[in-house]
Amino acid sequence: MRITYNSPVVLTYAFASLAVLGLTALAPGLMGLFASSGNLADPGNILYIFAHANLMHFAANMMLFLLLAPLIEEKYGSPWFLLMIAATAIATSVLNAVFFHSGIIGASGIVFMLIILSSITTAGASR
């Protein structure tokens, strides 16, 4: 039996998020590194996508992420999918900093991107 790593961006992101969840559970003081604070100069503005508040938050995001993301990564390829994730993370962080000035964590923005992309992708295929 051989296990293949067929969706490298999806699986790497899921494992990295799980590692950050474990790390911040063991050392809660590190959550500030992985949270967007609303300040555009903060490194957490991109790293926030890896952090989750608790196991329920992580499970809810990963359930939809792992369901939709492999389809999108297969359709567009790993480099484009990674660019989509980065663009979504940056855009949501900037919008949050400009309009809301609050902290954000989690993959909800990425999951929303995946929902929209998967509906657009499958709609075009059904014609």
Can you give the residue ranges of every domain in the chain? 8-122
Tell me what pLDDT residue 34 has: 85
Nearest alpha carbon to residue 73 among 119, 16, 118, 18: 118
| Assigned token pair, 23 | 């790390």
- Is domain 8-122 given the CATH code 3.90.1150.10 in the classification? no
The whole-model pTM stands at 0.88
**53 pLDDT higher than 60:** yes
Alpha helix (H) residue ranges in 1-77: 8-26, 44-47, 55-76
Task: Quote the mean pLDDT of the chain.
Answer: 89
Reported as a pLDDT band with limits 50, 70 and 90, residue 54 is: very high
Model pLDDT, residue 126: 53
